Amino acid sequence: MSKRPSPVSPTVDFDADGIQHGFLKLPISTDESAWGAVMIPVTVINNGAGPTALLTAGNHGDEYEGITALLKLSNTLRAEDVRGRVIIVPIMNVPAATAGKRTSGLDGGNLNRSFPGDPDGGVTEQIADYFTRELVPMCDVALDLHSGGRTLDILPFAAAHRLDDHDQEAQSLGGAVAFGAPVAMMMFELDATKLYDTAVESQGKTFVTTELGGGGTTTPERMAIAERGVRNFLIHYGLIEGQLESPAGQQVYVDMPDASCYVQSEHSGLLELSFALGETVRRGDVIARIYDMTRTGSEPIIYHAKRDGVLVARRFPAQVNMGDTIAVIAEVVDSLER
């Protein structure tokens, strides 16, 4: 059964020359706005022949490094600097960002668990559907900027996924390395089915994802990584001219071979991690202690590392509940190529 056209209407012309700032308008009807619209900001820059890059952030509403970097880029990138077309959507899930949350303040939807989306679904699924059927088909290369948000803190990295199409995987990996974050990763997803990543990759597009920090804030260091990375991405795929800028130290390659990289809590309480982001962990090391907050005199629950590697992500709030990811340990490798 074919889907009806997307209810989203753009106020920009994706084929017009020059730079345009506008909105992707999605009709909504709420107590606050009976005949209203979700207004998703978009910038389109067109300048002659060349590839199309789709740059996105705010897929989750509390991941501010990418949102900030793309808002800044929309204000600084000039049409004459571009060869081809750059589409910038700094805040994909506007209702989530408005609420200061990972998920939508309108329907509770987690956009990055809503793909490929549905034109007849909730607001979040309608946004996903517009990307899947309208924006992604326009692009050759896509970059989606994430970070840990309020509940995770993540060592800044850019990543590609293992793909059945090895050329597509190599193209994507090239962009992840060129992004120039301190870490480049081959990422394993716990459940990839409903991710934007999968919606893009399944259309044969080159796709790079990132995690650029977290904690629901930004720092100067991480903003510098985000902004340099976006510029490097555009240079690498030929959309702007310039010299690739490398990270300060040697870039570290990490692989996530399987789900054992994720350490998830089987207890609730107060979390004490014994490693900082970027530190080397050995199998068997005490990686975390969880304390019972309801009494004194009780021993903490000890979590041991199940593999060697480097701590690439950690739970950010000290309070932890059952099922929370408390740490992610990735394996350091010499090369990410097959």
Contact positions with Zn ion (CB under 5 A) in 62-121: 63
Q: Which is nearer to Zn ion, 148 or 309 (CB)?
A: 148
Two tokens, residue 95:
């209702």
Closest contact distance (angstroms) between CB of 320 and Zn ion is: 19
Segment interacting with Zn ion, rule: CB under 5 A, options 53-61, 236-244, 303-311, 320-328: 53-61
Nearest distance from C-beta of residue 206 to Zn ion, angstroms = 20
**60/194 with CB nearer Zn ion:** 60
Measured CA angle at 297 (ends 296, 300), to 5 deg:
95
Q: Tell me phi and psi for residue 216, to 5 degrees.
A: 75, 30
Q: Considering the complex, what minimum distance in angstroms separates the CB of residue 51 from Zn ion?
A: 25
Cis peptide before 116 (omega within 30 of 0): yes
Longest dimension (CA), the chain: 70
- Give the residue with the Cβ less far from Zn ion, 152 or 311: 152
Q: In a 3-state reduction of DSSP, which class is residue 267?
A: coil
Quote the least distance from Cβ 58 to Zn ion, whole Å: 9
Beta-ladder partners of 153: 214, 314
Rounded to the nearest whole angstrom, what is the least distance from the CB of residue 196 to Zn ion in the complex? 9
Residue nearer to Zn ion on the CB measure, 82 or 152: 152
Minimum separation from the CB atom of position 148 to Zn ion (A): 8
CA distances from 193 to 89, 112, 159, 207, 318 (A): 23, 10, 17, 15, 30
Range in contact with Zn ion (rule: CB under 5 A) among 2-10, 56-64, 272-280, 289-297: 56-64
Within positions 289 to 328, which residues make up the interface with Zn ion, using CB under 5 A?
A: none
User: CB 11 → Zn ion: shortest distance, Å?
Assistant: 26
Nearer to Zn ion, 10 or 229 (CB): 229
Q: Shortest gap between Cβ of 70 and Zn ion (angstroms)?
A: 14
The DSSP annotation for 311-331 comes to EEEEE-SSEE-TT-EEEEEEE
N- to C-terminal Cα separation, the chain: 39
Q: 240 or 313, CB closer to Zn ion?
A: 313
Helix (H/G/I), strand (E/B), else coil: 136: helix
Query: Could you tell me which stretch among 2-10, 54-62, 133-141, 151-159 binds Zn ion (CB under 5 A)?
Result: 54-62
Residue 63 or 140 having the CB closest to Zn ion: 63
The minimum distance between CB 69 and Zn ion, in angstroms, equals 14
The only residue of 8, 19, 28, 60 in contact with Zn ion, by rule CB under 5 A? 60
Q: Say how many residues touch Zn ion, by CB under 5 A.
A: 3
Answer whether 70's CB lies under 8 Å from 45's CB: no
Range 225-264, binding Zn ion (CB under 5 A): none
* CB of 78 closer than 8 Å to CB of 86: no
**Closer to Zn ion by Cβ: residue 212 or 281:** 212
Binding map of Zn ion across residues 128-167, x = CB under 5 A, - = no contact: ------------------x---------------------
The 10 Å CB-count burial string (b at 16+, else e) for 271-303 is: bebbbebeeebeeeeebbbbbeeeeeeeebeeb
Nearer to Zn ion, 154 or 281 (CB): 154
Within 13 Å of residue 25, how many CA atoms lie on the same side as its CB? 11
State how far the Cα of 180 lies from the Cα of 191, in Å rounded to an integer: 26
For Zn ion, the binding residues (CB under 5 A) are: 60, 63, 146
